[in-house]
């Protein structure tokens, strides 16, 4: 079983990958890149799965992190893969991922959060 610290680090790394994968892209670029779409969706799944496994104690401690929304996004991608709204995914990438990174950077120890992939 992974520790909460490891799960939070997994989330941070996945969120940073999403930013890197989409850096400089427009919505149109995203809509026309199956490779980037697939990569982003995979990292959102990682964020959601890791977030789902974080203990209740940690979730209560960091109540500002939108745990339910994170798990919900993962569930939609996994269980409704046939009906993914790319505009919603793009909005998540542009609005929610930067905020999540900022939140996780406050939680993950600095010496762990600088891990490069």
CA distance 52 to 11: 11
pLDDT tens for 56-115 read: 999 999 999 999 999 999 999 999 999 999 999 999 999 999 999 999 999 997 766 555
pLDDT tens for 9-27 read: 999 999 999 999 999 999 9
| Tokens representing residue 27 in the block | 């919505």
Would residue 74 show up in a list of annotated catalytic residues for this protein? yes
Which one of 20, 32, 79, 87 is the catalytic residue? 79
Q: What is the pTM of this model?
A: 0.91
Which one of 17, 20, 74, 76 is the catalytic residue? 74
At residue 114, φ and ψ (nearest 5 deg) are -90, 5
């Amino acid at each position: 079983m992974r520790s909460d610290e490891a799960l939070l680090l997994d989330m941070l790394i996945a969120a940073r990958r999403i930013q890197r994968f989409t850096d400089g892209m427009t919505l149109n670029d995203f809509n026309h890149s199956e490779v980037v779409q697939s990569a982003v969706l995979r990292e959102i799944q990682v964020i959601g799965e890791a977030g789902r496994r974080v203990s209740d104690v940690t979730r209560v401690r960091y109540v500002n992190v939108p745990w339910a929304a994170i798990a919900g996004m993962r569930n939609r991608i996994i269980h409704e893969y046939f009906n993914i709204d790319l505009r919603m995914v793009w909005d998540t990438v542009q609005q929610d991922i930067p905020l999540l990174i900022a939140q996780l950077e406050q939680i993950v120890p600095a010496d762990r959060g600088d891990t490069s992939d």
